Structure formats: C-alpha cells, structure tokens
Amino acid sequence: MTNMMKKLNIPFEQAIEKVQTVLKDQGFGIITQIDVKETLKKKLNVEYQNYKILGACNPSFAKEALDMEKEVGTLLPCNVIVYESGDGVQISIQKPTEMMKILNNDDLNQLANKVESKLQKVLDIL
C-alpha cells in the first residue's frame, strides 16, 4: 500500500484542525492548503464533498533532502488529504518511502524512512 490512512469519527472542520495541530507538534508546517470542494464549485460549478489537500513540510527534512538531490523538489511537500467518508473523515498520507523510490537514491530512502516514521506517529496520535 502506498498510503498510510486513518479514519476519524469527528466533524470535518474539527478533523482539519486536529490534523494541523498534530502535524505541527511533529515538526510539520502547512505551507499549502487546497480546498477541493471550493475549487470545484468555483471553477466547474459542481458540488463536491468536503475534501482538502494539506501540503505538510518539515523544513529540516526538506533541506536535507534538497541537499542530497535537487530533483526531490518535485515530490515536496508531503501531501495529506482529509475528506468526508461515510460516517467519518478519512486521513490519508502518501508514504515518503514509496515516493523516494523513483529517484533511486539510497540516502534519500533512509531520510524517507525518518519522515515516514514521523508521519506515522501523526496518524497514531490522531
């Protein structure tokens, strides 16, 4: 599986706040936020479920990765998706270890393991 997932049984906006807080506590800031529901309404005039993409970044890990491989920037930041799913809210994070495989760099793979451990802790805390 290429994603790490967790389902929460709380309201959507509360889930967004909780995810952002736990990410921050683990050293990740949110540098981008895409409200898919709002964007689809504005651009296509269609209704869509609550769905947000949070671009999470740990500056120390990002700098270390960029120092190893400039092309890693195409894979940054770590995207965390939060969306309504049935009777709850689904949180899904792409596994950094899977993403880094495409660059074929052993040092980046080791760093990806560290990042993934931190992101897994985020899900565990949630």
Domain boundaries, the chain: 3-125
The confidence score (pLDDT) of residue 87 equals 87
pLDDT digits (tens, 9 = 90+) for 23-80: 999 999 999 999 999 999 999 999 999 999 999 999 999 999 999 999 999 999 999 9
Domain 3-125 has CATH 3.20.20.70: no
The confidence score (pLDDT) of residue 95 equals 95
Return the CA Rg of the chain: 15
CA separation for the pair 100, 56 (Å, rounded) = 16
CA separation for the pair 25, 71 (Å, rounded) = 28
Show the CA angle centred on residue 91, arms to residues 17 and 108, nearest 5°.
105
The confidence score (pLDDT) of residue 52 equals 98
pLDDT digits (tens, 9 = 90+) for 68-116: 999 999 999 999 999 999 889 999 999 999 999 999 999 999 999 999 9
Ramachandran bin of 43, using left for φ above 0, alpha for ψ from -120 to 50, beta for the remaining angles: alpha
The residue that leads in pLDDT, 82 or 2, is 82
pLDDT at 1 over 80: no
Closest CA to 6 of 24, 17, 19: 19
Beta bridge partners of 55: 32, 79
